[in-house]
Every structure is written in C-alpha cells, then in structure tokens.
Amino acid sequence: MAQHILSVLVENSPGVLARVASLFSRRGYNIHSLAVGPTESPEISRMTIVLNLEGHALDQVSAQLFKLVNVIGIQEMEGRNSHQRELLMVKVNSDPNNRPKVEAVIAKYRGAIVNQANSSLTIEAIGNSAEIAALLKELSSFGIKELVQSGLIALEIGDTTLAERTLQETGLASSSTHSQTEDYQN
C-alpha cells in the first residue's frame, strides 16, 4: 500500500468538501487524513489529502478529482520537495514522580506543556508524521489518556506556489475565460 499526499486547491463554495468526500467514497479511494482550510485568497480553499492507495493509480485519482468543477489545481507533495506538518494534542498520565521523565521526552521533540492537572499533562507537538509517531511511542509508556491529531498539511519548498503553478498549467493567467464566451449558449 502506497501513501501519497495531495494538495488540492478548490473553490471556497458550499458543498465542495462533500463532493470530494463523495468521489473518494464512490471510487473506493481510502483517505488517511484530510485537512481543509482557507488560503491567501478568500475565494480559494486548500485541502491536504493523505491517501492510502491500493490498486489505484495516483494519476487516476488526480484525474477523477480534477473532473470536479470546483477543483482548481492538484499537486502531489513528496517528502523531498515539501514541508510536512501535523499537530498533536495528547493527555498523558503524569504525577510528580514521572514528570521529569515526561518533560525530557517533550523537550526532545520540541513539544510544549499546555496544561498541568493533578494526574495528567496536556502536551502539544508539531512535526512530520514520523516525528509525531515516534513521540507517541515514547509517551505511550506513561499511559495515554486521550489524543487528538490534525490532518497533515504540506507546503512546497522554495519560491513556487501551487496557485502559480495552477495558473500556468490551465493558462488562466493569460486568458481567464478562453472559449467560455461563445460555446455555452445551447
């Protein structure tokens, strides 16, 4: 099973998330995580989709996704060309006896304590998937009471932006509505 990360620019309009989810469900594509949020443009939202693909080619998934009218651009994010982060919040069993040990683990992963209660610590940490998994593994020896993770988000390394790339590929930059003026009358 291969894992892929897709960054998808979509129109910020009602029902877009449902369209994407419906497509993935219908075609049997398996979503590992999905993060959606606003972008630098108020008209555009960005989804970061982590996919577990078994028996489906990534370009077929992208082509089906791109058929959705509200999908503007798609880019695969790979480890070597992108920054990848997820956010973890976790409540770990902790008392004065083990607290120094827990704090050492947190420090190792550049996490932070956001709350100290009688028998637990609430910790936040940011990292790539491997770092978060390693942190969780170490924390599990203390006993994890509750945890919550955001979906992964990713950003391309360097000057290039997905929006620019999309504009180039669709030719939107030069003529925003080529051929859409004459053809649509029945």
Q: Is 43 in the site for another protein (CB under 8 A)?
A: yes
Site residues for another protein, 100-119, by CB under 8 A, read none
Closer CB to another protein, 45 or 120, in the complex: 45
Long-range contact set of residues 53-60: C-beta below 8 Å, sequence gap at least 24: 53/1, 53/2, 53/3, 53/4, 53/29, 54/1, 54/2, 54/30, 56/27, 56/28, 56/29, 58/2, 58/4
Establish if 15 lies at the interface with another protein (CB under 8 A). yes
47 versus 106: smaller Cβ distance to another protein = 47
Binding segment for another protein (CB under 8 A), chosen from 6-14, 77-85, 100-108, 141-149, is 6-14
Query: How many CB atoms are located within 10 Å of the residue 174 CB?
Result: 9
Site residues for another protein, 50-69, by CB under 8 A, read 57, 59-60, 63-64, 66-69
58-93: string of b/e by CB count within 10 Å (b at 16+)? eeebbebbeebebbbbbbbbeeeebebbbbbbbbbe
Under the binding rule (CB under 8 A), the answer on residue 185 touching another protein is: yes
Q: Based on CB atoms, which residue is closest to another protein, 51 or 72?
A: 72
d(CA 42, CA 180): 24
Binding-site member from 97, 118, 174, 177 for another protein (CB under 8 A)? 177
Q: Where do contacts with another protein occur on this chain (CB under 8 A)?
A: 10-11, 14-15, 18-19, 22-23, 26, 43-44, 57, 59-60, 63-64, 66-73, 170-172, 176-181, 183-186
